């Protein structure tokens, strides 16, 4: 699904607010919708694993869902509260000096107005900024500030009624019925998951319980690389 190659192509930083690309509220999005949103973005910007740096921001409730779908090299950042995913990604884009040294292009996968200042700052440091978003829900100011815009298709255009929970082609075939990303906890092995509020990474410490989210690194299922749902 993802292109992997050694290349002299300049590295790109791709920051994805995946909830914004679903086209529906995340709590009713099917597993197929999450997958279509991510693959649609990565295909549209011709993501190259091993060359590009992919960072996905997501709310605590959807960490496992996204980790099950993302490429193994992806970094997943999270923060609780309103616009938590947006704010976690804005933190990733705040060190413009580092970005200027490492990347020649930044792609922001979101149409959220929250990223307006990030676009201004990153462009000011000399990097080219592309916004990839769903047209009908994209901030006009955000789009106007970018060097380029890639318009994405809403997953529901392709999936129809299967974009929402309860009617999921993958679940129907497997018989999992509504388990979403939690059916694939074993796929967390290679992922780096960071809580933007605390700076915690699943690679940093053997055990942690987040009182707000219920995410714990202790007593994890086999293969979950230190992430588990706390009781």
Mean pLDDT of 211-220: 37
Rounded CA-CA distance 167/5 in Å is 36
CB contact at 8 A, 203 and 192: yes
Dihedral of the alpha carbons of 209, 211, 214, 217, in degrees to the nearest 10: -10
Give the residue-averaged pLDDT of 63-73. 93
pLDDT at 224: 34
37, 23 in Cβ contact below 8 A? yes
Residues 181-190: pLDDT tens digits? 333 333 334 4
Among 215, 222, 167, residue whose Cα is nearest residue 64? 215
CA dist list (Å): 66 to 19, 124, 135, 143, 184: 10, 31, 23, 25, 10
pLDDT(208) > 50: no
Question: pLDDT over 90 for what percent of the chain?
Answer: 58
Nearest Cα neighbor of 190 from 89, 47, 92, 76 is 76
Instruction: Judge whether 13 and 107 are in contact, CB under 8 Å.
Output: yes
- pLDDT digit string, tens, across residues 91-112: 999 999 999 899 999 999 999 9
Average pLDDT estimate for 8-31? 90
Taking residues 122-132, what's their average pLDDT?
95
In whole angstroms, give the CA distance from residue 79 to residue 214: 12
121: left (phi over 0), alpha (psi -120 to 50) or beta: alpha
Mean pLDDT of all residues in 115-120: 96
Q: What is the pLDDT of residues 29-38, one digit of tens each?
A: 999 999 999 9
Number of domains in the chain: 1
Report the distance separating Cα 139 and Cα 123, nearest Å.
17
User: What pLDDT was estimated at residue 183?
Assistant: 34
- Rounded to whole angstroms, the maximal C-alpha distance in the chain is 51
6 pLDDT band, cuts 50/70/90, is: very low
Distance of CA 60 to the CA centre of its chain: 12
Q: What is the pLDDT of residue 201?
A: 45
Quote the mean pLDDT of the chain: 76
Nearest to 190 by CA among 163, 165, 147, 225: 225
- Terminal Cα-to-Cα distance of the chain (whole angstroms): 35
pTM, two decimal places = 0.70
Position of tokens 């929250």? 114
How does residue 180 score in pLDDT terms, banded at 50, 70 and 90?
A: very low
Interval 170-174 mean pLDDT: 44
pLDDT at 80: 80
The parent domain of residue 166 ranges over 3-229
């Amino acid at each position: 699904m993802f292109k992997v190659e050694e290349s002299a192509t300049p590295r790109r930083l791709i920051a994805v607010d995946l909830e914004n690309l679903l086209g529906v509220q995340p709590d009713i999005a099917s597993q197929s919708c999450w997958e279509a949103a991510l693959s649609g973005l990565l295909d549209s910007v011709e993501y190259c694993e091993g060359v590009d740096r992919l960072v996905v921001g997501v709310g605590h409730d959807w960490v496992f869902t996204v980790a099950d779908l993302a490429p193994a090299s992806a970094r997943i950042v999270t923060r609780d509260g309103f616009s938590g995913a947006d704010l976690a990604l804005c933190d990733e884009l705040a060190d413009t000096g580092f970005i200027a040294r490492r990347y020649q292009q930044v792609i922001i996968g979101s149409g959220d107005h929250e990223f307006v200042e990030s676009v201004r700052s990153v462009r000011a440091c000399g990097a080219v900024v592309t916004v990839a978003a769903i047209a009908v829900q994209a901030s006009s100011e955000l789009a106007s500030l970018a060097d380029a815009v890639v318009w994405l298709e809403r997953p529901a255009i392709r999936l129809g009624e299967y974009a929402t929970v309860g009617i999921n082609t993958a679940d129907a075939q497997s018989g999992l019925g509504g388990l979403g990303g939690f059916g694939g906890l074993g796929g967390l092995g290679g992922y780096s998951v960071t809580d933007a509020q605390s700076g915690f990474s699943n690679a940093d410490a053997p055990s942690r319980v987040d009182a707000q989210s219920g995410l714990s690194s202790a007593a994890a299922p086999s293969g979950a690389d230190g992430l588990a749902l706390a009781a």
